Amino acid sequence: MNSHYRVVVIGGGVVGASVLYHLAKFGWTDVCLLERSVLTAGSSWHAAGGFHALNADPNMAGLQAYTIDLLSEIQEESGQDIGLHMTGGLTLAGTPDRWEWLQSAYRTFQSIGIEDCRLVTPEEAGELNPIMSTDGILGGMWADREGYLDTTGTVHAYAKAARKRGAEVFEHTKVEALEQTADGWKVMTDKGTITCEHVVNAAGLWAKQVGRMAGIELPVSPLKHHYLISDTIPQLETLDFEVPMTVDLEGFTYLRQDQKGVLLGIYEIQHEHWAMDGAPWDYGMELFQEQTDRIENELTLGFERYPALQEVGVKTWVNGAFTFSPDGNPLVGPVRGKRGYWSACAVMAGFLQGGGVGKTLAEWMIHGEPDADAWAMDVARYGDFAQNKRFIKETTGQFYTRRFVMTYPNEQLPAGRPLKMAPAHADMTAAGCRWGASYGLEVPLYFAPTPDFEEKPSLKRSNAHGVVAEECRAVREAVGLLDISGFSRFEVTGDGARAWLDKMMASKLPAPGRARLAPMLSETGKLKGDLTVFNWGTQPDADGPWWIMGSYYLREWHMRWFADHMDEGVTLRDVSDATVGFALSGPRSREVLEKLTDGPVDLPFMGCGTFDVGLYRCKVGRLSVSGELGYEIHCNAVDHAGLRRALLKAGEGFGLREYGFNALLSLRLEKSFGIWSAEFTQGYTPGMTGMDRWIDWDKDFIGKQAALAERDRPSDRVLVTLELDDGDADASGYEPVWQGGTLVGFVTSGGFGHTVGKSLAMAMVNRDAAKTGTSLHVHVVGAERAARVIAPSPYDPQGKEMRK
């Protein structure tokens, strides 16, 4: 063992071994892996080893597809047999909603390029898995590239392939402490101290402790998980093929063949946490006693689905621990304030996702960013709020229990809520507000018409459709009031503020008293933000203070980016929780606002200034995502409830109505206004999304050379607006877009335009399919609908209303 390496990977499970392999594969060979026991000790050795294509998150599905493709390559390169059984896989649907969801998921797979799937009838499913009862099955999805592998062999294959490329692996080497240095990290082990530039926490069940060694509190927790292996099943001895990997979503079970028996795994409803502060250091190859009473209901469903199990015994029980994050996705990436510290934790499906996690992290470390959008597993999607132990316990438990439970797009789940609330939350709740959650903060979705109104979970338009329509009508015809506490606000001050902002933002900076839309780019020219910059200066030659305003749930992500590119003479503060506010939107919004101000509000479009609004000193900007005349009114958090009461009082007689973000979705689609995580992501470029129209090409900024290259060679895909033939559902995202029988793109977001009375969507499509009037087709909840490309902004295309 050397005294210095470029990278030290902590943890010898499948994730750590994959990270090591990919670092070496991409050219960093001065790397090593440290394992406190032996490779696979922890969760990897007892994992069920199944892999399947289906994931509700398309980005995670793509990650899984990469991993599956990599398996045979790793086996060949390493010379290590990984026991790969490509049996194919079945995912079953036993309710009408689940069948609709599965049909929709099949189309989503098509949109992201996974083409080896097909829908099957119950009869076909029974033929594919002859030991299965098809009672209650409405249909299923077959995937060619599903099956199982030998978990121990696979970890050793990654490690051997990494060694062949120059990496080193040290077993029986326990990491005892970490110390950050000016150049990287000191890794103190029971075999001596290593210095390195980068350290990777791939410690699995011990990720919590390895995080705390660096002063980091990761939102992870282990939970127990059961599976059984049956004795020989006579029917399997007569088959000339292996039964496929089979997931019974309504039964909470998955099954694969194991020799001439089967492995039946269970996601038990009655979950059980274990060692929330991290596994004991001497734990490694142990299992827990099976708890059949806790899994009785799920076992019964499994034995009914596979009647052959009722005739044979159980050869082996496995009850082992795996780590989970609050949403079940991995926690991957750099940690703000800990330069050179990387997380590769909470990969609960390590043999399914580990290859993709390793590739992503290696690209990130070496090239500065991963090739694909990694937001779904970025450790920065959680902040300080997620360090709370009760929050972690509630949310990880909820995810585990609902692993196979049908979840609807409009369904609000209760774990860890309510956590953060704007000061007017109680008053708004009394007024009928129904809430969603963003980065721990409760945000308004809509206002229910009666106290007993309950929105029914649905894949299609819900019973709240008419409620949202009324809120949209109020904004378009009168005035709406929206709580905008759910936006991020960063204050930028100091002598170097202007120069720093000019470097960070690709747009021109606003003059004093003005605001400007500002794309922010990475060095490779991909988007890092669709932001609004405010210059609160009051004199023509007096800049600042400045604000950067963006998406609340991206706070930690943006703070990490800002910190990595900070200059001297700049002070940046996240004031998102200290400063909150409301938006007034609609043709009568100026009249309402001026009832509370001392004189007219003479702000030009995209102007900003400080005003007394009733009893409150507020920062006001004239802009509106709704496309109407509108104002964003920002106040101190302690003023929030009082400001709301004042605005409601002032709005009497003007038709003022409170509304939520469900209505704003409809309003912004009618204007073809994109949003982050839909039309704008770090996987897209300015030219693809239309954000290039805000770029100031005459100045220097991060990502300029890449942006210029794209300007000279336009991207193959561009963002368009679609009108869909009406139905009982609207597109939401990742639905495939077809021209004839050719896939030409996918939907980025969609909904119903209540003002124009049309089902609308925005989509990323091939440039030759982007011309206005082009006829296309889109699958919505699995059903094909005719669509056509329309000109941007179907409502008020000239933008006259918001400029009045």
Closest CA to 723 of 672, 688, 678, 676: 672
Residue type, 568: E
Q: Is pLDDT above 90 for 58?
A: no
- Please report which confidence band the pLDDT of residue 541 belongs to, taking 50, 70 and 90 as the band edges: confident
Average pLDDT on 754-770 reads 98
Residue type, 218: L
pTM of the complete model? 0.96
Closest CA to 11 of 164, 174, 150, 189: 174
Q: Is pLDDT above 90 for 113?
A: no
d(CA 259, CA 463): 50
- pLDDT tens sequence across 264-293: 999 999 999 999 999 999 998 999 999 999
- pLDDT tens sequence across 306-334: 999 999 999 999 999 999 999 999 999 99
588, 611 Cβ separation under 8 angstroms: no
- pLDDT tens sequence across 438-491: 999 999 999 999 999 999 999 999 999 999 999 999 999 999 999 999 999 999
6, 30 Cβ separation under 8 angstroms: yes
Average pLDDT, the chain: 97
- pLDDT tens sequence across 180-212: 999 999 999 999 999 999 999 999 999 999 999
Q: According to the model, what pLDDT value does residue 115 have?
A: 86
d(CA 286, CA 275): 14
d(CA 355, CA 61): 12
Q: Is pLDDT above 90 for 433?
A: yes
User: If 0-12 CB within 10 Å is exposed, 13-18 middle and 19+ buried, where does residue 691 land?
Assistant: buried
d(CA 660, CA 444): 5
Q: According to the model, what pLDDT value does residue 63 have?
A: 86
In 570-717, alpha helices (H): 589-594, 640-650, 661-669, 686-689, 704-712
Q: Is pLDDT above 80 for 55?
A: no
- Tokens 């997620």, residue? 386
Strand ranges across the sheet with 579-585: 608-613, 616-621, 630-636, 579-585, 479-483, 656-658
Contacts of residue 447, defined as CB under 8 A and 6 or more positions apart, other chains included, come to 428, 431, 432, 433, 434, 467, 471, 657, 658, 659, 660
Beta strands at 571-574 and 487-493: parallel, antiparallel or unpaired? antiparallel
| Annotated domain spans of the chain | 4-324, 414-486+578-678, 488-575, 716-796
Contacts of residue 240, defined as CB under 8 A and 6 or more positions apart, other chains included, come to none
Closest CA to 368 of 629, 645, 560: 560
Residue type, 73: E
For residue 772, the tally of other CB atoms under 10 A from its CB is 11
659, 443 Cβ separation under 8 angstroms: no
Q: According to the model, what pLDDT value does residue 316 have?
A: 97
Contacts of residue 76, defined as CB under 8 A and 6 or more positions apart, other chains included, come to none
Per the structure block, which two tokens stand in for 741? Answer: 């029988």
**Cα→Cα distances 329→125, 176, 573, 614, Å:** 29, 27, 29, 46
- Please report which confidence band the pLDDT of residue 53 belongs to, taking 50, 70 and 90 as the band edges: confident
For residue 289, the tally of other CB atoms under 10 A from its CB is 7
Average pLDDT on 164-190 reads 98
Q: 716-796 adopts what CATH topology?
A: Elongation Factor Tu (Ef-tu); domain 3 (2.40.30)
d(CA 703, CA 711): 12
Q: 4-324 adopts what CATH topology?
A: D-Amino Acid Oxidase; Chain A, domain 2 (3.30.9)
**Cα→Cα distances 257→48, 51, 412, 563, Å:** 11, 13, 37, 50
- pLDDT tens sequence across 668-721: 999 999 999 999 999 999 999 999 999 999 999 999 999 999 999 999 999 999
Beta strands at 717-724 and 783-790: parallel, antiparallel or unpaired? antiparallel
Closest CA to 583 of 661, 691, 697, 477: 661
The CATH number of the structural domain formed by 414-486+578-678 is 3.30.1360.120
- Please report which confidence band the pLDDT of residue 54 belongs to, taking 50, 70 and 90 as the band edges: confident
Using CA atoms in the order 403, 407, 409, 410, what is the torsion angle rounded to 10 degrees?
-130
Q: 488-575 adopts what CATH topology?
A: Alpha-Beta Plaits (3.30.70)
Average pLDDT on 561-571 reads 97
- pLDDT tens sequence across 327-378: 999 999 999 999 999 999 999 999 999 999 999 999 999 999 999 999 999 9
